[in-house]
Structure 1
């Protein structure tokens, strides 16, 4: 098994460490690779799109030719997890900010996204949230976080905070508004590993 972490920008190292720890705890073997250029996505059984600055990330993915590879992987049923900016990129529909900046979206999940649902960097926070299927709350870290403001019936809502959906799944796509890789709680990475099968 091979898991690819898109390594163009953002919390790359933290995701690599988190998924390696989750694999170890689950007693699973997998190679975790960093993807910086096209030609590697095809060799992966799962992909992680980390946080970062979504406009920059979207443009770099297009420029490097990785965006099309991710879209192809998504339609082939490859599990993909997007966190924070990764969630924004997964969306089919963005808010005014997305329109204004000409933010490129991958458009692989039937969600509407508000790019700065929880304010700016200085308004970052952490809070306990319920997560569908978890016995106890998850300590979610929100950093200039987006939120899902709407979705189709095909999308399973996994967690809400205030008026926003902050975790959702549509078939093989998992979108998170927060940063599970910044905690020592690997339940969400385990959840993702189960999606790989």
Structure 2
């Protein structure tokens, strides 16, 4: 019997896509013998074209410059296929930092002229919440969903966003305020099928405000403010493959 293959794509238009590729490959190589991750055949590909996206069963959108990624996606004809992938086909997708911004239905502190969003994650994301790159920081972030007995994750925040608001049905028809951009409405959206789960908030550390939301999940969409691909730790990549890709809703 031929073993089914799962193709995981990494959007490779700009940003830290190679780091995600290495982490996914490492998580698969180091899977526990006999586990679903070990017994599943994976192919990890870089996605730059509609054809490559169409071949993917799941997708990672990396950190980088969200405005640049959206601009390249628009110019290469990938923007609408990405919306189809995330919001209509509802395939598993993980966005880190810039990826979280792009997956949000709204983004504040947008650059003049705005930017295009993929949307699907029914939140408002605040860009560059922590300031300039010189104000980047690392903190030990508890991630109980990865495992109760697991040590905190060393989370890297670089010009990172946060989730500043979980949107309601009324928000979808409200006027967008200055400095806020919104993804276009689609007939089918993931938030109509699943509730937002706030799965990690920033602890009080290094002078940062406790309670800032830095990781959320909604159905097929997972988003993190920080860069797990910039540490040697592959626990989040392993968790996403196991819980979001192999057990997709």
Match in the other structure for 1:138: 153
For structure 2, list consecutive stretches of 5 or more residues without a partner in the other structure: 1-5, 32-37, 169-194, 203-209
Moved over 3 A (4+): none
Give CA-to-partner distance per residue, 1:69-127, whole Å, 9 cap, x none: 121111212100000101000010111x2263411111111011100111110001100
Highest Rg: 1 or 2?
A: 2
| TM-score of the superposed pair, with normalisation by structure 1 | 0.94
Q: Name which of 38, 43, 46 aligns with 1:31.
A: 43
- 1:192 and 1:64 map into 2 onto residues whose CA distance is 28
- 2:167 and 2:113 map into 1 onto residues whose CA distance is 25
Match in the other structure for 2:226: 178
Match in the other structure for 1:64: 76
Q: Name which of 241, 244, 247 aligns with 1:193.
A: 241
Residues 1-197 of structure 1 aligned to structure 2 (within 5 Å):
1-26=6-31, 27=38, 28-74=40-86, 75-95=88-108, 97-98=109-110, 100-133=112-145, 134-135=147-148, 136-152=151-167, 154-161=195-202, 162-194=210-242, 195-197=244-246
- 1:102 and 1:152 map into 2 onto residues whose CA distance is 20
Check conservation: 1:113, 1:148, Cα contact below 8 A. Answer: yes
Check conservation: 2:126, 2:161, Cα contact below 8 A. Answer: yes
- 1:14 and 1:118 map into 2 onto residues whose CA distance is 23
Give CA-to-partner distance per residue, 1:9-54, whole Å, 9 cap, x none: 0001101000101111222431111112222111111100001111
Match in the other structure for 2:206: none
For structure 1, list consecutive stretches of 5 or more residues without a partner in the other structure: none
Check conservation: 1:38, 1:65, Cα contact below 8 A. Answer: yes
RMSD of Structure 2 on Structure 1 (CA): 1.4
| TM-score of the superposed pair, with normalisation by structure 2 | 0.75
Check conservation: 2:124, 2:167, Cα contact below 8 A. Answer: no
- 1:129 and 1:101 map into 2 onto residues whose CA distance is 35
2:84 is paired with a residue whose SS is helix
Q: How many residues align?
A: 196
- 1:144 and 1:10 map into 2 onto residues whose CA distance is 13
- 1:104 and 1:178 map into 2 onto residues whose CA distance is 21
**Residue 99 to residue 13, structure 1, CA distance change in 2 (3 Å):** closer
- 1:78 and 1:173 map into 2 onto residues whose CA distance is 8
